[in-house]
Structure 1
C-alpha cells in the first residue's frame, strides 16, 4: 500500500511540472522543454542565463552563484556575438571559459578561450586561423602577440641556396658588392630595414638568403686563398733566384 501511495505522489509531482519538463517513455529527457530533441535536452525561455551546471564544488557554493562548471547562454542578436559559454566560476567569480560565438548569419562562428578573470587569451576564428594574445589573426594560420619559446622549429623550403656553387653562378666581385653597399646601405638580395618593418621577415626565406651570403663569402675566401698561394709561389721563386745570384 505504501508503495502504491508513493507512486501516486510521484505521478502528481511530475504532472505538476509537466509544463516545462518531460520524461517520455522514449527515454529522452527534456528540462525546460516538452519536446526534447536529444537524450538530454536542456532549454531556457530567456537568454543571458545559466542553463545547466555540470559540476559543483561545496567550497564557495554559498557565495553568489557558487563554484561550478556550467553552460551559460547569451543574447545572440545582433551577430556576431556570444551564444554559449562553458564557464568555470569560483565563489561566483568567473575564472576561465570557452565561448562559442555565432557568425553574422547561420554560419561563420568562432571560439574564444579566456583565463584568470575571463580575459580572452586565444581565438580560433571562422577561417581556422588561431590568434594567441591577439584578436586579429589577419591572414596568418597562427598569430602570436608575444614571445614564442621552443626547443626546435622546423620550416620546410621549396628551394635552398646551393645554386651558389653551380659552375654557371655569377659571383659578384667584391668591388661590385662594395659599391652596392655604399649606395643602398645593405647587402644585395637582403631586405632593408624599411621593408622588414613594413612586411616582417619570412624566417625560412631569410635563412636561405643568409646561407647564400655565407656561401658567397666562402667562395671569396677560397679565391683569396688561391691568390695568396700563387703570390707565395712567386715570392719563393724570386727568393730562390736572389739566393742563387748571391752565391755566384
Structure 2
C-alpha cells in the first residue's frame, strides 16, 4: 500500500507540473508526457529512465500481474537478494531467470549463458513463421573475433523439394547435412545413401540399393576401394584397387563363398561353388596349388586324388612313411621261397618279377612308395636267401674238390715211389 501511495503522489505532482503535457482522458487512460494516452498508463519522455522502482529494504522488488478476480497469475522483477531478474508464473512451473549474464529457463540457477531445464522434455524451437514453403532458420556459434569466418552454423534449410539440417563452416560450406528422409552427407549436400562421405572423387557410402534387402558399404575412388555388399548379385566383402582385389562374397548362387587376393590373375583364391570348392594359389601360368574341400592337396594339379598329389619333382632331405607288415616274414621257416627255376619261368611268362608291378601298370597307376619299398625289400631278402643257399652249395663243392685234390695227390705220390 505504501508503494501505491508513493506512485499516486508522484503522478499527481508530475501532472500538476506538466498539465499541458499530461492528460487524464474520459476513457480513464492516464497520459504522462502525452495528451493522447492509448492505455490505462501511457508514459512518454525523452529521458532514458521512464519509470523507476526502488526498494527501501534491499529485498524483493517486482510487479504483479493479476486476473479479473484479483488473483496473481505471474510476477516480474528482482528476487530476494536483488541479484537476479525473474519472470515467473504463479505456480512456479515456468520461469525465466537473468542472473549474472546467465539466462535460465525452467531453472533458478543457470550455470551457462543459456540453460533450458524442464521436468518434461525441454524444447528450443527456432523457425521462420510464415506461409512460405521455403526458407532457413539458423543457430550460429562464434569463436575468435566473433565473425562468421570464425564460427559455425547449424542451419535448417527448407526448399520446395528437400528439407535438410546442415552444419555450415566459416566459409559458408555445408560440412554435414541430414536429409529429412534420414540420409546423412559429409562433404556433399545430396547424400544418396544413409551415410555418404565424399571429397572430390573419394567417397564412403552406407546404403541400400533398389533391393530392399541389400546392404552396401563402399569406400573408394571411382572403381577402387572397399565394398561390403548384400544384394541380389553380390554378397560379401571386397577390397579392390584396379586389378588387385580381396573378395569375401557369394555370387548369384547363395551357397557360394569366395576369398580372392591377387593382382591380375596372380594370387590366392578360396571359393565354394557348384564345381570348385577349396583353397587355390595361382598366377598367370595357372593354378599352382589347390586344397580341396575334402582335404586333398594338389601341387601342380587342380584335381588331387589323394591327401597330397604332386605333378612334378619333389626334393626333400628325408621322407618318413608309416607302414605295417615289413617283410621280415621272408626269413621265417614257413615262408615259401620260390625256386630259381620258378622265378625264371615267371619272368619268361610275365616279363617281370612276381609281386612286382609291370611297366604298364606303373605308367597307368603309378606306385605307392611305401608298398613298393616293401616289395623291393622282399626281393632283396629273397636274393639274400638265394645267395646264402648258393654259398652253401659253393662251400660244399669246394669241400668235394679239396677231397678230390687230396686223393689225386696221394695217387701221384704212390706212382712216384715206384
Q: Same fold (TM over 0.5)?
A: yes
Indicate which of 249, 261, 270 corresponds to 1:100: 270
How far does residue 158 in structure 1 lie from its aligned partner after superposition?
1.2
> Could you say which residue in structure 1 is the equivalent of 2:184?
15
- Unmatched 5+ residue regions in structure 2? 1-141, 144-149, 155-166, 169-174, 186-190, 198-203, 209-214, 217-225
The SS at the match of 1:12 is strand
Bigger shift: residues 221-230 or 11-20: 11-20
Q: Deviations over 1:163-183 (max 9, x none)?
A: 111122121111111111111
The SS at the match of 1:100 is strand
Matching of residue 134 in structure 1 with residue 301 in structure 2: yes
Distance of 1:85 and 1:6 partners within structure 2: 46
Q: Deviations over 1:58-106 (max 9, x none)?
A: xxxxxxx38xx54247772358867342223xxxxx162222322339x
Name the count of aligned residue pairs: 218
The change in CA–CA distance for 1:242 and 1:223 in structure 2 (over 3 A counts) is: same
Matching of residue 5 in structure 1 with residue 144 in structure 2: no
The change in CA–CA distance for 1:47 and 1:157 in structure 2 (over 3 A counts) is: same
The change in CA–CA distance for 1:179 and 1:119 in structure 2 (over 3 A counts) is: closer
> Could you say which residue in structure 1 is the equivalent of 2:19?
none
How far does residue 137 in structure 1 lie from its aligned partner after superposition?
1.5
TM alignment of 1:60-209, pairs within 5 A: 65=242, 70-72=245-247, 76-78=251-253, 83-88=258-263, 94=264, 96-104=266-274, 109-115=277-283, 117=284, 119-138=286-305, 140-209=306-375
- Unmatched 5+ residue regions in structure 1? 24-29, 57-64, 89-93
On the 8 A contact 2:279/2:291 being kept in 1, the answer is: yes
Distance of 1:50 and 1:144 partners within structure 2: 33
Distance of 1:144 and 1:185 partners within structure 2: 30
The answer to which structure, 1 or 2, has the higher relative contact order (CA under 8 A, 6+ apart) is 1
How far does residue 144 in structure 1 lie from its aligned partner after superposition?
1.8
On the 8 A contact 2:257/2:273 being kept in 1, the answer is: no
The structure with the greater share of residues assigned to helix is 1
Q: Deviations over 1:97-148 (max 9, x none)?
A: 222322339xx84222222x3732222211111122222123x111222222
Distance of 1:128 and 1:173 partners within structure 2: 46
On the 8 A contact 2:177/2:184 being kept in 1, the answer is: yes
Distance of 2:378 and 2:239 partners within structure 1: 61
The structure with the greater share of residues assigned to strand is 2
